[in-house]
Structure 1
Amino acid sequence: MILQLIDIGYLVAVVLFILGIKLMSHPESARKGNSIALAGMILAIAVSFFTPGLDNIVLILIAIALGTVGGLYSAKTVQMTAMPQLVSFFNGMGGAAAALIGLVEYGDLAIDDIGKGSVLMASLIIGSVSFSGSMIAMGKLQGVVKDIRVNKILAFLVLGLAIALAVYVLMAAEPKPLFVYGLVALALIYGLLFVYPIGGADMPVVISLLNSLTGVTAATTGLLYDNKVMLMGGILVGSAGLLLTLLMAKAMNRSVSNILFTSFGSAAGTAAAGQDGDQVAKEINTYDSAILLAYAKRVVVVPGYGLAVAQAQHAVHDLEKILEEKGVEVTYGIHPVAGRMPGHMNVLLAESDVSYDKLIEMDDMNEQLPNTDVVMVIGANDVVNPAANDDPSSPIYGMPILEVNRATNVIVIKRSMSSGYAGIQNALFFDPKTRMLFGDAKKVLNGLVSEVKNM
């Protein structure tokens, strides 16, 4: 009877997970969806305490308390610019948990239970790869880990050795700790070799893939313990992460294999199409920019990572409201991979109460740009680079972009002429329609608010 009630509780928890994920697909219901999914997780944890034979309850409660406090503190204090790093860290912790469970359980491995043993080895290898890979991805996003070229044959050799050790452990009459720890060490090394050579511009895709792997480890752990909620929850995370990975790769017009096994984004930088030595970017000051904006009929804001770095989301919303008071239509052009993770710009602008109806996805926005008076690019770079359309030699050629150069005027707010995350110069900066407004985005936007108010 107890086991049946536990299964019912797990089923309800999984339904809440699915409903929560569904509601998270729209910003207006995302907060509610998050709460529903949280309720499902609390229910799953609570039900688990009724598992027959459960012991060490005090230690479990202490671990839950520590994790809860650490998670709440991290979520409350993290800056929006560091949110992708936090996501990567949490992914890594999930993989580490699966690997640690595997290390605890391998001693009970039965020779005649190849199925259970295979699942255990998968948890060890995939969990270890997810952990070390996520830590490197976090370091790259933080800027403390650089791209390192890795011999692909060496990387696959390390993975092959880990798998070979796993097979040996499965076949051995008495698995020796040395071999188990050896395969974990090799899997950890492969995680490093896997992520090191991938360019920083591709880290969001890598994090999504590692998130999928973490979901797989949760599922394998569920199989190991015959825990249905871990199995189904892991399948949800794994499938959602894989789907997101494919969608992001499509948004960059590249295959997942191209992202994982080429060094795009790690180049030191190349000149953009049309950028000759005698070409220079044209500057504009705050006052002239304010005139362009205040007397325009239609303005499009294209936010990027620079907006997040400057924490200028509230300032851009203030400018939006001031312009609308003067009869200017203001919308936002959102590129699928702008920022450092999917939905980064949507979350950032939602934080400043920008209406979701004003956030226009790339394909729809590109149809509207030819009829736009002014596009204001704030901190975005690669996602507005016309080299993606015009320069076959560019590493981003073929990547769908926001075609802001089709608007009548373009104002680019940046601190400098530095290249974007892909490491290439932006041809947009030298377009005759473009004017560069240099400075910290928050200070520049606050200055524009003051100037527009006085007009």
Structure 2
Amino acid sequence: MTSFVGVLYIVAFALFIYGLMGLTGPRTAVRGNWIAATGMVIAVVATLLTPGMSNWVLIAIGILLGAVVGVPAARRVKMTAMPQMVALFNGVGGGAVALIAWVEFRTSDGYDGEPRYVAITSLFAALIGSVSFWGSLIAFGKLQEKISGQPIALRRWQQPLNVVLLLIAIAAGVLVITGSTLEILMILLLVAAAALGVMVVLPIGGADMPVVISLLNACTGLSAAAMGLALQNTALIVAGMIVGASGSILTNLMAKAMNRSIPAIVAGGFGGTTALAAGSAEARPVRSTSAADTAIQMAYAGKVVVVPGYGMAVAQAQHAVREMAQLLEGKGISVAYAIHPVAGRMPGHMNVLLAEADVPYEQLREMDEINSEFAQTDVALVIGANDVTNPAARTDPGSPIYGMPILDVNASRSVIVLKRSMNSGFAGIDNDLFYDPKTTMLFGDAKSSVGEIVEELKAL
């Protein structure tokens, strides 16, 4: 049976890796997900077949409860709420690892008689898992707007408090490793780690949430891998390391896309969902346009680049955008989509939305690829994107987003911005693009505005 379980694990891990390969493009992503999911089912079966497995009733109840909660939640969630679901489900994984570590402490009488590495890896998993769970809950609250997207911090006391909480958790863990069997120490570690997770994420503003989600995902993977070492469970080790490694790489890429270091992001204090100060729009006048004028301008263009942002996601305008693009293509106009790495509220948010609307993958152009083409673009249509198009990132050394790579939409011959109002984006700062002489603003709900443009294009 042990050999058979080992073979099942090898098959499962092969499917994990093959499934990940399918996630490199929208056309193969669904298949890749199914392949990886099949691998996880095989890994779970292999774990259940491990000699000595018991408590079948509790296992069945846990699987049933998880399916009853998870399946409807995943099926009903809107694409705009996908970042929140990812944050919540990721946090649940970290919380499960922390609880397993606590159970192991209790069943082994404080790791009495266990090898030293079991205690170390289990306590590490408990600390990181607890941080991930509670930090993910705060990220969920911010994304769901249950908690303010503004940075919430204790100013100069914030970082010293975080260090104290970390030292308390480490000290409790060291006492357990050196032989103490007091359960209060394990509880203290979990509570200190929970407080640390909350205090680390609260000061981080909405503009940094995509990076935070990715970072917490990596933490959950690392905690699962550590717990796998303690339990000698191959599935946890391999799956956890895959999640931890991929999450770490993605976090680094996201941080580079914002030209910010990961420590600076964790330190917090940047980005929130604030409106512009009263009167700021009057001080810098903007030009408004209509759906009819927008349709005429695009109908006589040679090349149109659509720049999607979170506003498109909120309005669920992706299908209307796709219909608009098809009408333009029918008139012989070239259409492309400019994708910024941190557009939206989670990694790949715009790609997922546009893939849902059957936008051809070849038309999705990454920032580094599309930026050189804006100078040859007749119309750049910005739909709900804000900070990722702000020229201040290149021109204003005093701006908090200075140095962040942006989409060079202001290099286009004409820019049309679809937006509800003049409110700022997640960074909480004004967007100089709105006041560019080449820019016109089409105010209103993105889905309604695009729908009106579609009707005007049909009439032309």
Note the 1:167-206 alignment, pairs <5 A: 167-173=174-180, 175-206=181-212
Q: Which residue of 2 aligns with 1:6?
A: 5
Tell whether the 8 Å contact from 1:333 to 1:362 is kept in structure 2 after alignment. Answer: yes
1:127 paired residue number: 129
Distance 1:254 1:166 in 2: 32
Normalising by structure 2, we get a TM-score of 0.95
SS of structure 2 residue aligned to 1:37: helix
How far does the alpha carbon of each residue in 1:128-177 deviate from its partner, in whole angstroms, 9 at most, with x for none? Answer: 1010000001111111112311310011101101110111122234x112
Where do residues 78-227 of structure 1 align in structure 2 (5 Å cutoff)? Answer: 78-107=77-106, 108=108, 109-110=111-112, 113-146=115-148, 147-150=151-154, 151-173=158-180, 175-227=181-233
Distance 1:27 1:276, change over 3 A: closer
- The residue correspondences of 1:223-372 to structure 2 (distance < 5 A) are 223-266=229-272, 278-372=283-377
Shift of residue 206, structure 1, vs aligned partner: 0.9
Is 1:432–2:437 an aligned residue pair? yes
Mapped partners of 1:169, 1:43: distance in 2? 35
SS at match of 1:301: strand
Amino acid at match of 1:137: A
**What is the alpha-carbon distance in structure 2 between the residues aligned to residue 319 and residue 443 of structure 1?**
12
Distance 2:284 2:231 in 1: 65
Other structure's SS at 1:340 match: coil
Deviations 1:201-254 (A, max 9, x none): 101101111100100111111111111111011000000000000000011111
Q: Is the 8 A contact 2:25 2:361 kept in 1?
A: no
Contact 1:300 1:333 in 2 (8 A): yes
**Segments of 4+ moved more than 6 angstroms:** none
Q: 106-115 or 284-293, which moves further after superposition? A: 106-115
Per-residue CA shift, 1:285-331, capped at 9, x if unaligned? 11111110111111110000000100011100110111111111111
SS of equivalent to 1:253 = coil
Amino acid at match of 2:166: L
Distance in 1 (CA, whole Å) between partners of 2:290 and 2:114 is 76
C-alpha change, 1:313 and 1:277, in structure 2 (3 Å) is closer
SS in structure 2 opposite 1:432? coil
Partner of 2:53: 54
Q: Is the 8 A contact 2:112 2:179 kept in 1?
A: no
* Counterpart residue number, 1:18: 17
Distance 2:264 2:44 in 1: 40
Is contact 1:110-1:117 (8 Å) kept? no
What is the one-letter code of the residue matched to 1:199?
Answer: G
| Residues in 1 aligned to 2:276 and 2:402: alpha-carbon distance in whole angstroms | 13
1:66 aligns with 65
SS of match in other structure, 2:44: helix
Q: Which residue of 1 aligns with 2:425?
A: 420
Letter in 1 for 2:207: A
More moved, 410-419 vs 180-189: 180-189
Q: Which runs of 5+ in 1 are unaligned?
A: none
> Could you report, residue by residue, the CA deviation over 1:399-434 in whole angstroms, capped at 9, with x for unpaired residues?
111010000110000000000011111000000000
Q: How many residues align?
A: 450
Answer yes or no: is the 8 Å Cα contact 2:306–2:383 preserved in 1.
yes
Distance 2:59 2:358 in 1: 40
232-241 or 275-284, which deviates more: 275-284
Contact in 2 for aligned 1:111/1:170 (Cα 8 Å)? no
Q: 1:68 offset after TM fit, Å?
A: 2.0
* Preserved CA contact (<8 Å) 2:273 2:425: no
2:162/2:200 contact within 8 Å kept = yes
Q: Partners in 2 of 1:30 and 1:297 — Cα distance?
A: 32
C-alpha displacement of 1:74: 1.3
Query: Structure 1: which amino acid aligns with 2:132?
Result: S
Distance 1:31 1:439 in 2: 34
Shift of 1:111: 5.3
Give 2:261's aligned amino acid. S
For 2:177, the aligned partner's letter is L
Letter in 2 for 1:186: A
Instruction: Check the 8 A contact 1:159/1:187 in 2, yes or no.
Output: yes
C-alpha root-mean-square deviation of aligned residues, in Å? 1.5
Amino acid at match of 2:213: I
d(CA) in 2 for partners of 1:182, 1:218: 21
Q: Residue 268 of structure 1: CA displacement?
A: 5.5
| Distance change in 2, residues 1:49/1:276 (3 Å) | closer
Among 399, 408, 431, the residue aligned to 1:403: 408
The residue type paired with residue 302 of structure 2 is K
Q: Tell me which amino acid in the other structure corresponds to 1:374.
A: V
Amino acid of the structure 2 residue aligned with 1:396: I
Out of 149-158 and 382-391, give the one that drifted further. 149-158
Amino acid of the structure 2 residue aligned with 1:211: N
Query: Which residue identity is paired with 1:229?
Result: A
2:40 aligned residue = 41
User: CA-to-partner distance for each residue in 1:24-82, whole Å, 9 max, x for gaps?
Assistant: 11111111111110110011111222111211112212211221232211111111111
Amino-acid identity (%): 50
Which stretch of the first structure deviates more once superposed, 105-114 or 316-325?
105-114
Question: Does the CA-based 8 Å contact 2:274-2:424 persist in structure 1?
Answer: no
Partner SS state of residue 11, structure 1: helix
Please state how far the C-alpha of 1:267 moved relative to its aligned partner. Answer: 8.7
Distance 1:357 1:410, change over 3 A: same
